[in-house]
Amino acid sequence: MPPKNCWGWPNVPSPALTHLDAAGHAHMVDVSAKAATHRKAVATGAIIMQPQTLEMILSGAAPKGDVLATARIAGIMAAKKTADIIPLCHPLSLSSVTVDLAPNDNRIEITATVTTTGATGVEMEALTAVSAAALTLYDMCKAVDRGMQIENIKLLHKSGGRSGDYNAA
């Protein structure tokens, strides 16, 4: 039986874990031989807050300014900088990034859609956009609501590339 890593999984390289070489060392995957195809990813998440915090945001009364516009821009900027944040991500030329913020009861639902034409997918860029938008919402409102909770950040959809399409259940 091979030795196990800190999670109790066998410590052997797996063809499914492409960021590990034959010796089990992390490396950036070589995508130079892959064909450029249209890629799309959609991620989502939410931030839960007190109803009065949401009302403050929607009325434009937040002390730090336009919370929704700032969070949207933060998400877009984060998608563009994903390779600087996630060590083994490829720097990509993104075709589009949208960040939608939908107030709903005591929460703001965040959805990011990212597209490119390239040799690797944009899932990490979409997830990073949602994360940064949620963190920005928290940062801009923490003075009035420190109990906000960021939750359920996940990939909803990805298309393009060799592995095909994915849609969350």
CATH number at residue 53: 3.30.70.640
Tell me, yes or no, whether 144 lies in a domain. yes
Residue 22 lies in a domain: no
Examine residue 6 and state whether it is found in any structural domain, yes or no.
no
**Domain carrying residue 123:** 45-165
b/e map of 118-145 (b: 16 or more CB within 10 Å)? Answer: bbbbbbbbbbbbbbbbbbbbbebbeebb
- Is 151 annotated in a binding site? The answer is no
C-alpha to C-alpha distance for 157 and 72, rounded to whole angstroms: 20
Does the reported pTM lie above 0.85? yes
Residue 89 covered by a domain: yes
Which residue is catalytic, options 21, 30, 100, 139?
139
**Mean per-residue pLDDT of the chain:** 91
Asked whether residue 1 is marked as a ligand-binding residue, the answer is no
For residues 11-16, give the mean pLDDT: 54
What mean pLDDT do residues 58-81 have?
A: 97
138 located within any domain: yes
Given pLDDT bands bounded at 50, 70 and 90, which one contains residue 1?
low
Residue 52 has what pLDDT? 97
> In total, how many domains does the chain have?
1
Domain assignment present for 35: no
139 is catalytic: yes
Residue 22's pLDDT is 72
